[in-house]
Amino acid sequence: MNIYLDIDGVLLVNETHAANYADDFIQAVLEKYPDSTYWLTTHNWKGENRTKAVLAPHLKPETIELLDRIKESEWGELKTDAIDFDQDFLWFDDDLWPAELKTLEKNEALEQFVMVDLQKDPDMLQKLTQVIKSNA
C-alpha cells in the first residue's frame, strides 16, 4: 500500500498550527508503511523539498525524526501524476482538482482518495489514525 500525504489543510491547519493528532497520524502511517509513504504537496514540487522545514516548528521532535522516511514525489500540473495506479494506495488531501478527480475516476480509484476537512472536523486525524492502525 502506498500512502500519499498533503501538508496544508491536512497535517497543518494553517501556517502556525498543526492539525490535532498530526503527530499520532504521521507516526501511525510510518509505523505501518515505513517504506511506501510519499509526499504529495506543493512543499515538495519540481525537485524542491521544504516539507521538513515547514513542519518542524509544529510537530514533536520524535515525529520530525521520522519524516526522513517519507519519499519525495514528482508531479507537475496534477498531483495524480505522482500516483502509481498499479499499486493499492491511499491519498490524503484537503483539495481535489476536477482533472485529478477525472484521473481517479478513470483509474477506478476514487475510493482511495481521502478528503480531509479540518474545518468540518478538527479531530479528523484522530479517526484516520485509527483507520491506518486497523488497515490490514
Q: Which is nearer to Mg ion, 23 or 93 (CB)?
A: 93
Q: Which is nearer to Mg ion, 31 or 123 (CB)?
A: 123
132's grid cell: 491506518
Whole-number minimum distance, CB 56 to Mg ion, in Å?
Answer: 18
Whole-number minimum distance, CB 6 to Mg ion, in Å?
Answer: 4
**Cβ atoms of residues 96 and 119 within 8 Å:** no
Q: Which is nearer to Mg ion, 72 or 108 (CB)?
A: 72
Whole-number minimum distance, CB 94 to Mg ion, in Å?
Answer: 4
Chain residues in the site for Mg ion (CB under 5 A)? 6, 8-9, 94
**Cβ atoms of residues 93 and 40 within 8 Å:** yes
